[in-house]
Chain A
Amino acid sequence: MTAIDTELAIRARDLRKEYGSAEGLVRAVNGVNIDIARGEALAIMGPSGCGKSTLLHLLGGLDRASGGELWMRDLRLDQMNEKQLAQLRRSEIGFVFQAFHLMDELTARENVELPVLLAGRPQSEARRRATELLGEVGLSDRADHLPSALSGGQRQRVAIARALANEPIVVLADEPTGNLDSAATLDVLELFQRIHTAGQTLVIVTHDERIAATADRLITMRDGAFVDETVLRGGTVGPLGAYLGLEG
């Protein structure tokens, strides 16, 4: 049993996820080992169907692993029950989806307020937090618009604000620019960079080289496993750079 390093945000050992059985068995995630440092920005790339989304769902407690061990800080995810996982998602994880997945009938502000309310915080606090975050993502003037009145890029920025609402340990983004045109992609890219600079741990699955280039580290997946790992210079330096240096 490995001791938990408190500098780590996420640690996975021999993480596996299988679908189906016998002939139809799919090893969507096949023995992944990973350490993600606090404040690190990690990019994951790979061909469609190689298991990127599945891995992200496992890391975020949206799905359960078939085997292996998984920690978030000192919390052991693979031994948690549904309720504990839900509580974890509520307070420690922020998700950003390709399809945004905003609530259609809620305004931008209400969408950002939602996780704060779900965490049982008072409405006044939710409102304050939402206003602040919408300001940070540059959408103060769109706070009372419904998602249907926003562009794709704006929707994704609302979704990112929502993901940050409860100050999570890690933000997990699954192809966040997959549905966006290049102008909107740049906006979102910039936003991620800013979040990263502010010290937020990030895991981004992407097909976009430009986004991958902003990360501290790039992992390439194939058939459910890591096939390549590159430590990039473009990312943040400092304590975690040093940490990565030790590993590398």
Chain B
Amino acid sequence: MSRFVLILRLAARDFRRRRGEAAMLLVVIAAATTALTLGLVLRGVTTQPYEQTRQLTAGPDAVATAFPYHSGLPSNPTGLAKVSPIAQAPDVRASSGPFPVAFPVMTAHGHTDAVLAEGRSSSAALVDQPKLTQGSWVRPGGVVVERSFADALGIHVGDQVILNGRKFHVAGIAVTAALPTSGLGFLEASSRWPNPGLVWLSKAAARSMATRAQPLGYILDVKLAQPAEAESFANRYTASGNYRNNTGTPYVMPWQAISQQDGLLMRTDQKILLIGSWLLGLLAVGSLAILVGGRMAEQRRRVGLLKAVGATPSFVASVLLAEYLGIALAAAALGLFLGRLVAPLLTSPSTAMLGTAGAPQFTVETAAIVLLAAVIVAGLATVVPALRAARTSTVDALADSSSPPKRRSWLVTRSARLPVSMLLAVRVGARRPRRVLLNVLSIAVTVSGIAALLFARATIAASQFGSDTSGSANFNQFDVGFVSKTAREDQVLLIVSILLVALAAVNAVFITRATVQDSQHTSAIMRALGVEPGQLTAGLSVAQVLPAFAGALIGIPGGFALFTLANQGGGASQPPAWWLIAVVAATVIVIAGLTSIPASWGARRPVAEILQAEAS
């Protein structure tokens, strides 16, 4: 028992002595565990809510639509004639509709947006009866707004909205499984009405909004005898025989396609988070390696002291483990807390589905996985020094502060021709090649992540704007539309980028500090020989900036590769070249700025003091 107390006390003492390092380690592990928590929490969010919503709303197995592509009679009788017979098809067990659909422009809370206004009767439909989450069903003068759309615009029951100039009250908010609310995929291709919101109103009101320029469309919801066969049913009844490539009327969507479209958004987010947490994990391991490596020298002496007074290697390992375990568990708790805090931000716009609304699954399992990851990290951080402690003799550990630096003759010879700062940079780097490599990798990982995000951003933007923008008069007219969809992906990208940049910054500072620390003696000699503090600062900084530049250059193609891999064969759109150049330039500038602080601190310590300490 007293042994246990002693271990804790030694660990706490060491912890207190280096609060700064402990805090940085905490930040690093917390960032990684935050990303891990988010990834885990968002894992199950996709399909299950769709199933649930389908049951609660008597969701259709297939939806047949006839949307007008040309101007014509406001009531669009040809469209109606094409969609109506599907209700009598042999596989159809039940149907509702065809319901008339108008395409008015809606204004609410200062936003103007394209909407799909579906005409409904006040009685409940057999198939696809949207489930009210607030208020009551459609009535004359009262509309019901689809929930994700209402959330995006901040619409509540009792608000007033304007449809094509006519005032309506919001009677209710509801969800449906009949249309993919996170973006009507088949309409997105139509540049005339990109990604509209969905509202329900009375049939009469829908009909009244039809014009020759914008005739009515029709929606028919059907239940099939064999729901699993919905895709082949859709192919049979679409004009082209393949609903995926259909450009004609009718257009039949199987429920699987709706479900997939709904999940798409979450899947993109998850993909980003997954890649993000991998990269963050790599960076966290990198920082750990730098930190533990940097402390190794000091620890060696400490271990020697402990062993000299009779501590066994396992006791020494326990002290180290206790310290890292404490930090890792605190960081994991912080990561869980932050992850939990941030998760609803990512899911809330997808309130289209029941059960999704701000309720990501935060389970005991998630907590357990995150804590376990933290424990493994702590274990890894302990293993190397513990093994060394067990191996090295006590006398050696006491006598020798660190392993002697490597000599790279060709670098020494080459660098002799360089200006003083570069000479210092090359020689400082040459002393610790592994750390230089780690530095390159750390920056490469971060820049890869950021570059991948830029590729993702460019690709998402390209897909949002579609390939066909000709004849579109609407793009600039609407506020939500496609914007709302990218907005959330941007949020996820932003969160991941911030975490990546934060970790990379921590790493840069770690690396410079470690470099400053173990080049302290060299620096002191150099200064005794007349190197100016400015030259030394520049040299130490350049020693970090050169690898950072190399890492940034590697990171750009790395990011492309990463994105292509994650996108599983989907095409990548290239972001503007200047974005990528800016990332490389910013990396170099930020690293130069970050590293000059510890570097100049190191370059200004009194020389005499350092050399005296070394001599004694």
A binding-site residues for B, Cβ under 8 Å: 53-54, 57, 62-63, 82-83, 86-91, 93, 95, 97-99, 101-106, 110, 113-115, 117-120, 123, 126, 146, 148, 162
- Please give the distance in Å from A109's CB to the nearest CB on chain B: 10
9 contacts between A and B (CB under 8 A): A57-B608, A98-B615, A99-B615, A101-B524, A105-B407, A106-B407, A117-B420, A118-B529, A123-B416
Q: How far is the CA of A120 from the CA of B412 in the complex (A)?
A: 16
Across the interface, B612 reaches (CB within 8 A) one of A53, A106, A146, A162, namely A53
Interchain CB contact under 8 A, A119 and B530: yes
- Please give the distance in Å from B400's CB to the nearest CB on chain A: 12
**Quick check: is B241 within 8 A (CB to CB) of the other chain?**
no
Q: How far is the CA of A86 from the CA of B416 in the complex (A)?
A: 20
Across the interface, A101 reaches (CB within 8 A) one of B427, B532, B611, namely B611
Interchain CB contact under 8 A, A97 and B611: yes
Known A-B contacts A62-B528, A106-B412; A101 and B404 likewise in contact (beta carbons under 8 Å): no
Q: How far is the CA of A113 from the CA of B615 in the complex (A)?
A: 23
Q: How far is the CA of A126 from the CA of B413 in the complex (A)?
A: 12
- Please give the distance in Å from A19's CB to the nearest CB on chain B: 10
Q: A90-B530, A99-B614, A104-B405 are in contact. List 17 more A-B contacts (CB 8 A).
A: A53-B608, A63-B607, A86-B527, A86-B533, A89-B528, A89-B529, A91-B530, A97-B611, A97-B615, A110-B416, A113-B416, A114-B529, A115-B529, A115-B530, A117-B420, A117-B423, A120-B419
User: Across chains A and B, which 7 residue pairs bring their CB atoms closest together, nearest first?
Assistant: A90-B530, A89-B530, A99-B615, A86-B532, A57-B608, A105-B407, A123-B416
Interchain CB contact under 8 A, B532 and A63: no
Contacts of A89 in B (CB 8 A): 527-530
Interface residues of B in 412-437 (CB under 8 A from A): 412, 416-417, 419-420, 423, 427, 430-431
Interface residues of B in 531-576 (CB under 8 A from A): 531-535
Q: How far is the CA of A104 from the CA of B614 in the complex (A)?
A: 14
Of all chain B residues, the one with the shortest Cβ separation from A83 is: B532
Known A-B contacts A105-B431, A113-B416, A118-B526; A87 and B532 likewise in contact (beta carbons under 8 Å): yes
Interchain CB contact under 8 A, B525 and A101: yes
- Please give the distance in Å from B419's CB to the nearest CB on chain A: 8
Q: How far is the CA of A63 from the CA of B607 in the complex (A)?
A: 7
Is the contact region of chain B dominated by helix, strand, or loop, or is it mixed? helix
Interchain CB contact under 8 A, A62 and B533: no
**Quick check: is B406 within 8 A (CB to CB) of the other chain?**
yes
Interchain CB contact under 8 A, B608 and A83: no
**Quick check: is B606 within 8 A (CB to CB) of the other chain?**
yes
The total of interchain contacts (Cβ-Cβ below 8 angstroms) comes to: 89
Of all chain A residues, the one with the shortest Cβ separation from B414 is: A123
Contacts of A63 in B (CB 8 A): 606-608
- Please give the distance in Å from B613's CB to the nearest CB on chain A: 10
Interchain CB contact under 8 A, A103 and B522: yes
Contacts of A117 in B (CB 8 A): 416, 420, 423
B binding-site residues for A, Cβ under 8 Å: 404-407, 412, 416-417, 419-420, 423, 427, 430-431, 521-522, 524-535, 604, 606-608, 611-612, 614-615
- Please give the distance in Å from B301's CB to the nearest CB on chain A: 18
Of all chain B residues, the one with the shortest Cβ separation from A62 is: B608
Q: How far is the CA of A209 from the CA of B423 in the complex (A)?
A: 41
Interchain CB contact under 8 A, B530 and A118: yes
- Please give the distance in Å from A120's CB to the nearest CB on chain B: 7
Interchain CB contact under 8 A, A123 and B417: yes
- Please give the distance in Å from A100's CB to the nearest CB on chain B: 9
Q: How far is the CA of A119 from the CA of B530 in the complex (A)?
A: 8
Interchain CB contact under 8 A, A110 and B607: no
Q: How far is the CA of A29 from the CA of B404 in the complex (A)?
A: 36
- Please give the distance in Å from B184's CB to the nearest CB on chain A: 67
Of all chain A residues, the one with the shortest Cβ separation from B530 is: A90
Interchain CB contact under 8 A, A118 and B405: no
Contacts of A102 in B (CB 8 A): 525
Q: How far is the CA of A115 from the CA of B525 in the complex (A)?
A: 10
Of all chain A residues, the one with the shortest Cβ separation from B408 is: A105
Interchain CB contact under 8 A, A95 and B406: no
Q: How far is the CA of A22 from the CA of B212 in the complex (A)?
A: 96
Known A-B contacts A90-B530, A101-B528, A115-B530; A120 and B420 likewise in contact (beta carbons under 8 Å): yes
Known A-B contacts A57-B608, A62-B607, A146-B407; A82 and B528 likewise in contact (beta carbons under 8 Å): no
Q: How far is the CA of A148 from the CA of B529 in the complex (A)?
A: 21
Contacts of B419 in A (CB 8 A): 120
Interchain CB contact under 8 A, B608 and A105: no
Q: How far is the CA of A86 from the CA of B526 in the complex (A)?
A: 10
Contacts of A91 in B (CB 8 A): 530
Contacts of A53 in B (CB 8 A): 608, 612
- Please give the distance in Å from B524's CB to the nearest CB on chain A: 8
Contacts of A104 in B (CB 8 A): 404-405
Contacts of B534 in A (CB 8 A): 83
Interchain CB contact under 8 A, A87 and B530: yes
Q: How far is the CA of A87 from the CA of B534 in the complex (A)?
A: 12
Interchain CB contact under 8 A, A90 and B608: no
Q: How far is the CA of A146 from the CA of B404 in the complex (A)?
A: 12
Interchain CB contact under 8 A, A86 and B531: yes
- Please give the distance in Å from B417's CB to the nearest CB on chain A: 6
Q: How far is the CA of A54 from the CA of B407 in the complex (A)?
A: 33
- Please give the distance in Å from A16's CB to the nearest CB on chain B: 16
- Please give the distance in Å from A201's CB to the nearest CB on chain B: 17
Q: How far is the CA of A129 from the CA of B226 in the complex (A)?
A: 94
Of all chain B residues, the one with the shortest Cβ separation from A61 is: B530
Interchain CB contact under 8 A, B406 and A101: no
- Please give the distance in Å from A84's CB to the nearest CB on chain B: 9
Interchain CB contact under 8 A, A103 and B608: no
- Please give the distance in Å from B421's CB to the nearest CB on chain A: 11
Interchain CB contact under 8 A, B406 and A105: yes
Contacts of B416 in A (CB 8 A): 110, 113, 117, 123, 126
